[in-house]
Amino acid sequence: MSELTQISQVRCFGGWVGTYTHQSTVNNCQMRFAVYLPPKAKSDDNLPVLYWLSGLTCTEENFITKSGALKYAAKHGIVIVAPDTSPRGEGVPDDPEGSWDFGLGAGFYVNATQAPWQQHYQMYDYIRAELPALIEQNFGVDKHRKSISGHSMGGHGALVIALKNPECYRSVSAFAPIVAPTQCPWGEKAFSHYLGADKTAWLEYDACHLVAHHQGRKLPLFVSQGNADGFLAEQLKPELLVSACQQAKHPLQLERHPEYDHSYFFIASFIEQHMLYHANALNED
Amino acid sequence: MSELTQISQVRCFGGWVGTYTHQSTVNNCQMRFAVYLPPKAKSDDNLPVLYWLSGLTCTEENFITKSGALKYAAKHGIVIVAPDTSPRGEGVPDDPEGSWDFGLGAGFYVNATQAPWQQHYQMYDYIRAELPALIEQNFGVDKHRKSISGHSMGGHGALVIALKNPECYRSVSAFAPIVAPTQCPWGEKAFSHYLGADKTAWLEYDACHLVAHHQGRKLPLFVSQGNADGFLAEQLKPELLVSACQQAKHPLQLERHPEYDHSYFFIASFIEQHMLYHANALNED
């Protein structure tokens, strides 16, 4: 287990926001993440954790500074962990064309199998296993009370990771997720590079496919989507998730919000509701 | 009166965040500002306004994205107006050394009298007169219900503008303000350039001096200050404001918060309290 280095620590809503770096074994590079410890952490070393996965171009910082979630994490006594969205640093390959939808800031929460990506881009294993183990070793958290959420690419990550590991999470939610990356340009581009030309390998990271072929506990899905989201029709396609969940009788609560877009102004407007949703699941006995 | 150009409009907490640009007469350049219209703006064209002045290096964006204030503006039916912190654009001079504490992003809310600054750096008149007139012409607001707040350099601006125009504002508050710019390095640098070597000209922009020499209505001052603020001892010096207010019997509510720093994490933690303070003043009959 690698050691944590604290980069910063700032007081917020009676708790603390810390930024940390560590040597990731699976990603084979230094990774950064942010942790919010609520006031209750002073007296309780067995707190539940919400993992937040950010979207394209984001780092560990966006959610912590813009979402307004910390107030509710403080209120409900939840630790928030917000990792970076890809491996970074010297030797970590990026899109040769430098575009923002693939490579750095765009790890897509998969385990890459193709060169040159597979040496560093192992974000699925990082979020599912390495990061929680690190958090559980270094902070006073309850490893049996985890939830997961995210936005856009991170909403895809949250849905996929929860659907593949329903026993590990108390609840899952997403804002404007990419629900079917095998059927949209962002996903097709990223998966063809990370996973190769054989599209059958892509399916295990497609939330709609996972719903359709789900076995075991059906963790309900809670999704918020703005109707004025500029990526709605081409990239996000929530109707595919509705259809998959209907066919598979998988519980889905999809809330569509007229006139809201894809930004953090949308997330901030509904984060209180998502935090309460997770608090109810995490604080249940 | 110049015309407004809307750059963006995004839905948030049931209302709308807009970013605008216009040709400023007093600053002699294009200026930007952000406006939050709460849901109540749909049915009420006579809403109160809170003007927010940001600190060094900020633009019209920081407060809107990071403070968490919009939720409370929505709740209390308050319009927020957040201007940029200096003139900008071609022909607007900047610190020749390119430092962040003077020039662009550091207008200090004064009317510059010295070359080359006086052609554009007229932020005092901009905030006091030109911007409110523009807002009152273009949005459904009540020109008799204005309040003002700000952070750091913007806290200085809010205190100075309210102290010099107490009849224009219902309430004033500040986070970590520069209370005595004539007695700290940031203020000494900026004022010597904008206002010249004669320090008597500086005094009209020094909150502590204005408190000591105040005439007319004594608008109470509400100030929040973090005790772990890295700028506390050298730049902010709240004890000078305490002393000035005690001597002049000027009402001051100074709240000091142990372990909080100078960042937006501090502002976000206490913005609900400030918004309620202003709502009580603005929504009084």
User: Are residues A268 and B68, on separate chains, in Cβ contact within 8 Å?
Assistant: yes
- What are the tens digits of pLDDT across the range B207-218? 999 999 988 899
CA B197, CA B187: separation in Å to the nearest integer?
A: 13
Answer yes or no: is pLDDT of A1 > 90. no
Contact A223, A274 (CB under 8 A): no
**Residue-wise over B234-247: b if at least 16 C-beta within 10 A, else e?**
ebbbbebbeebbee
Active-site residue, A262 included: yes
Structure tokens at B258: 């142990």
ipTM of the complex: 0.95
Return the pLDDT at B216.
Answer: 86
Mean pLDDT throughout A204-217? 95
- What are the tens digits of pLDDT across the range A184-201? 999 999 999 999 999 999
- B45 by Cβ neighbours in 10 Å (0-12 / 13-18 / 19+) ranks as exposed
Instruction: Indicate the pairing of strand B252-257 with strand A221-226.
Output: unpaired
- What are the tens digits of pLDDT across the range A41-73? 999 999 999 999 999 999 999 999 999 999 999
**B9 backbone dihedrals φ, ψ, rounded to 5°:** -150, 125
Structure tokens at B259: 């372990």
Nearest CA in chain B to A226: B11
Return the pLDDT at B2.
Answer: 65
CA B181, CA B19: separation in Å to the nearest integer?
A: 30
Distance (Å) of CA A5 to CA A20, A31, A33, B169: 5, 11, 11, 47
Nearest CA in chain A to B266: A12
Distance (Å) of CA A53 to CA A177, A212, B176: 11, 23, 33
User: Are residues B68 and A68, on separate chains, in Cβ contact within 8 Å?
Assistant: yes
The three-point CA angle B143-B147-B148 to 5° equals: 125
Return the pLDDT at B1.
Answer: 56
pTM (2 d.p.): 0.96
Top pLDDT among A216 and A85 is at A85
- What are the tens digits of pLDDT across the range B264-279? 999 999 999 999 999 9
Read off the pLDDT band of B178 (50, 70, 90).
very high
Answer yes or no: is pLDDT of B14 > 70. yes
- What are the tens digits of pLDDT across the range A90-110? 999 999 988 999 999 999 999
d(CA B179, nearest CA chain A) in Å: 23
Return the pLDDT at A216.
Answer: 86
Active-site residue, A198 included: no
Structure tokens at A188: 């097709």
Return the pLDDT at A198.
Answer: 96
Read off the pLDDT band of A284 (50, 70, 90).
confident
The full DSSP string for chain A is -PPPEEEEEEEETTEEEEEEEEEETTTTEEEEEEEEE-GGGGT-S-EEEEEEE--TT--SSHHHHHS-THHHHHHHT-EEEEE-SS--STT----TT--TTSBTTB-TT-B--STTGGGT-BHHHIIIIIHHHHHHHHS-EEEEEEEEEEETHHHHHHHHHHHH-GGG-SEEEEES--S-GGGSHHHHHHHHHHH-S-GGGGGGG-HHHHHHT--S----EEEEEETT-TTIIIII-HHHHHHHHHHHT--EEEEEETT--SSHHHHHHHHHHHHHHHHHHHT--
Distance (Å) of CA A275 to CA A171, A257, B53, B72: 11, 17, 31, 18
- Residue-averaged pLDDT of chain B: 97
- Residue-averaged pLDDT of chain A: 97
For residue B268, which residues of chain A lie inside 8 Å, CB to CB? 12-13, 68, 70-71
Q: Quick one: DSSP state of residue B53?
A: E
- What are the tens digits of pLDDT across the range B87-103? 999 999 999 998 999 99
Mean pLDDT throughout B60-65? 97
CA B32, CA B4: separation in Å to the nearest integer?
A: 10
Question: Which of B7, B8, B11 is the best residue to mutate to test the A interface, defined by the most A CB atoms within 10 Å of its own CB?
Answer: B11
**Residue-wise over A190-209: b if at least 16 C-beta within 10 A, else e?**
bbebbbbeeeeebbbbbbbb
Read off the pLDDT band of B250 (50, 70, 90).
very high
Mean pLDDT throughout B112-119? 97
Answer yes or no: is pLDDT of A2 > 70. no
User: Are residues A228 and B65, on separate chains, in Cβ contact within 8 Å?
Assistant: no
Return the pLDDT at A260.
Answer: 98
Return the residue matching tokens 């142990």: B258
From its phi and psi, is residue B105 left (phi > 0), alpha (psi between -120 and 50) or beta? left
Structure tokens at B10: 């995004």
Nearest-CB residue to B11 (from A11, A14, A261):
A261
Choose, from A67, A86, A147, A152, the residue flagged as catalytic.
Answer: A152
